[in-house]
Chains A and B, each alone.
Chain A
Amino acid sequence: MAKRSAPEVNAGSMADIAFLLLIFFLVTTTIETDSGLNRKLPPIDPPDDTEVIIKEKNIFQLNVNKNDALFLKTGGEEKIIQIKDLRAAAVAFLDNGGGTGPDACKRCQGRKNPRSSDNFDKAIISLQNDRATKYKTYIAVQNEIIAAYNELRNREFERSFPNLGMNFVEADKRYSDPRTPSEEKANLKDKLEEIKILIPQKFSEAEPKKSN
């Protein structure tokens, strides 16, 4: 009997089918944006009577109105500020180091203005916005304030641990990277904590005003 071989399947259209699938996945792919500004909300506390007294000089009071203009009250002066100057102003405020005696700030390199903040731990940034403020302005303000904190934390991290060869933000990124070996993580954790305690993010948001 003659040997009959199976007829070969024509694979010429395989490329077309693959192209079809390829185009489908190309169209449906979305590069997900999963990064952003991490914040922590204050818990709703039962109202207690303990009043905290904060000196006015330790507050960097920032107000965003409904036209997205910024009003700043700090260090005994009140002024309208442009958002591009905000980062430098916040750094100057946090880094001021005007405290004396037990409040003295050893690591601050600012102007030591007695009417501005005492030290990193005492300095509070307060933000109030209007209900009609645009979200993008709010994010820009948040971003600039986080940038100011990061700038100082970077500086102090590099001063404390100069042989590590990275700054605070890089170290933090490395710490949260799941691929970093665990002994390096444990090592980084203490150092990051130390800087976080040295320069705490004391950021308060007031309830927004209603405008009409």
Chain B
Amino acid sequence: MSKFKKKKGGEMPAVNTASLPDIVFMLLFFFMVATVMRQNTLMIENKLPQADQVEKLDKKDLVMYIYAGKPSSNYKSTFGTEARIQLNDKFAEVEEIPAFIAAERASKREELIPFLTTALKVDSEANMGLVTDIKQELRKVNALKINYTTRKGNALDGLKN
């Protein structure tokens, strides 16, 4: 028996995969931290228009969301193809906006109410008539700070498609 055994030739050594779980966990934690769960299930098409003069909405808890757009394909048969408003998880009429705003305000601390912003997430194909109606309702309940939520991009390119 020789002390220096000859290595078995030919076969490749297997790659050590012991650190694979660590790598995967690292990725997992990244995505867990970065994930923001959607608050509302969208029942409408919501392709936001593009703009480049945007400002960031910082305080997420001080934002009320109003969605508008055409009902998505599974709701078309019941709700038609005309653009509609969605508040929380259901379709709503324009007249329901004041009640929605009041409910949102009631859920916030009183001193924060003046800082509440209404984010309008409106589909780019929607008509201005609907948006104007929403704005009128917001003016009636004195929710004057609004934000037209947009994607970042060149506004003129967004018009073409």
Interface residues of A (CB under 8 A from B): 11, 14-15, 18-19, 21-22, 25-26, 28-30, 32-44, 68, 83-84, 129-140, 142-144, 146-147, 150, 172-173, 176, 178, 207-208
In the bound complex, what is the Cα–Cα distance between A137 and B144 (angstroms)?
A: 22
Q: Which of these, A35, A83, A136, contacts B125 with CB under 8 Å?
A: A136
Stretch from B1-9, B17-25, B86-94, B106-114 that touches the partner = B17-25
Instruction: Check B31 against A14 for contact (C-beta < 8 Å).
Output: no
**Can you spell out 15 A-B residue pairs with CB atoms less than 8 angstroms apart?**
A22-B31, A29-B34, A34-B63, A35-B55, A35-B56, A35-B150, A37-B148, A38-B117, A41-B139, A43-B144, A135-B123, A136-B159, A137-B159, A146-B53, A176-B58
The number of residues on chain B lying at the interface, defined by a beta carbon within 8 Å of a beta carbon of chain A, is: 58
Instruction: Check B24 against A208 for contact (C-beta < 8 Å).
Output: no
Interface residues of B (CB under 8 A from A): 17, 20-21, 24-25, 27-28, 31-32, 34-38, 48-58, 60, 63, 117, 119, 122-129, 131-132, 135, 138-140, 142-152, 155-156, 158-159
Instruction: Check B127 against A30 for contact (C-beta < 8 Å).
Output: no
Chain B residue numbers with a CB within 8 Å of A25 are 28, 31-32, 35
Chain A residue numbers with a CB within 8 Å of B159 are 68, 83, 136-137, 140
A40 with B132, Cβ < 8 A, contacts A134-B127, A143-B52, A147-B52 known:
no
Instruction: Check A33 against B24 for contact (C-beta < 8 Å).
Output: no
Instruction: Check B51 against A36 for contact (C-beta < 8 Å).
Output: yes
Chain B residue numbers with a CB within 8 Å of A42 are 139, 144
Which residue on A lies nearest to B52, using beta carbons? A143
Instruction: Check A132 against B53 for contact (C-beta < 8 Å).
Output: no
Known: A18-B24, A30-B38, A35-B150. 7 other contacts (CB 8 A): A35-B57, A35-B149, A131-B127, A133-B128, A150-B53, A176-B58, A208-B132
Instruction: Check B36 against A144 for contact (C-beta < 8 Å).
Output: no
Q: How close is A89's CB to chain B, nearest CB, in angstroms?
A: 14
Chain A residue numbers with a CB within 8 Å of B25 are 18
Q: Which of these, A11, A84, A140, A207, contacts B49 with CB under 8 Å?
A: A140
In the bound complex, what is the Cα–Cα distance between A143 and B145 (angstroms)?
A: 17
Chain A residue numbers with a CB within 8 Å of B146 are 38-41
Instruction: Check A37 against B53 for contact (C-beta < 8 Å).
Output: yes
A132 with B127, Cβ < 8 A, contacts A19-B24, A33-B149, A38-B145 known:
yes
Which residue on A lies nearest to B65, using beta carbons? A34
In the bound complex, what is the Cα–Cα distance between A63 and B24 (angstroms)?
A: 56
Instruction: Check B158 against A140 for contact (C-beta < 8 Å).
Output: yes
Q: Which of these, A35, A137, A138, contacts B152 with CB under 8 Å?
A: A35
A37 with B48, Cβ < 8 A, contacts A44-B139, A84-B156, A208-B128 known:
no
Which residue on A lies nearest to B48, using beta carbons? A33
Q: Which of these, A32, A135, A143, contacts B126 with CB under 8 Å?
A: A135
Chain B residue numbers with a CB within 8 Å of A21 are 28
Instruction: Check B128 against A43 for contact (C-beta < 8 Å).
Output: no
Chain A residue numbers with a CB within 8 Å of B49 are 135-136, 139-140
In the bound complex, what is the Cα–Cα distance between A22 and B27 (angstroms)?
A: 7
Instruction: Check B148 against A139 for contact (C-beta < 8 Å).
Output: yes
Which residue on A lies nearest to B35, using beta carbons? A29
Instruction: Check A22 against B148 for contact (C-beta < 8 Å).
Output: no
In the bound complex, what is the Cα–Cα distance between A11 and B143 (angstroms)?
A: 56
Chain B residue numbers with a CB within 8 Å of A36 are 51, 54-55, 57, 119, 147-150
In the bound complex, what is the Cα–Cα distance between A42 and B135 (angstroms)?
A: 10
In the bound complex, what is the Cα–Cα distance between A101 and B103 (angstroms)?
A: 53
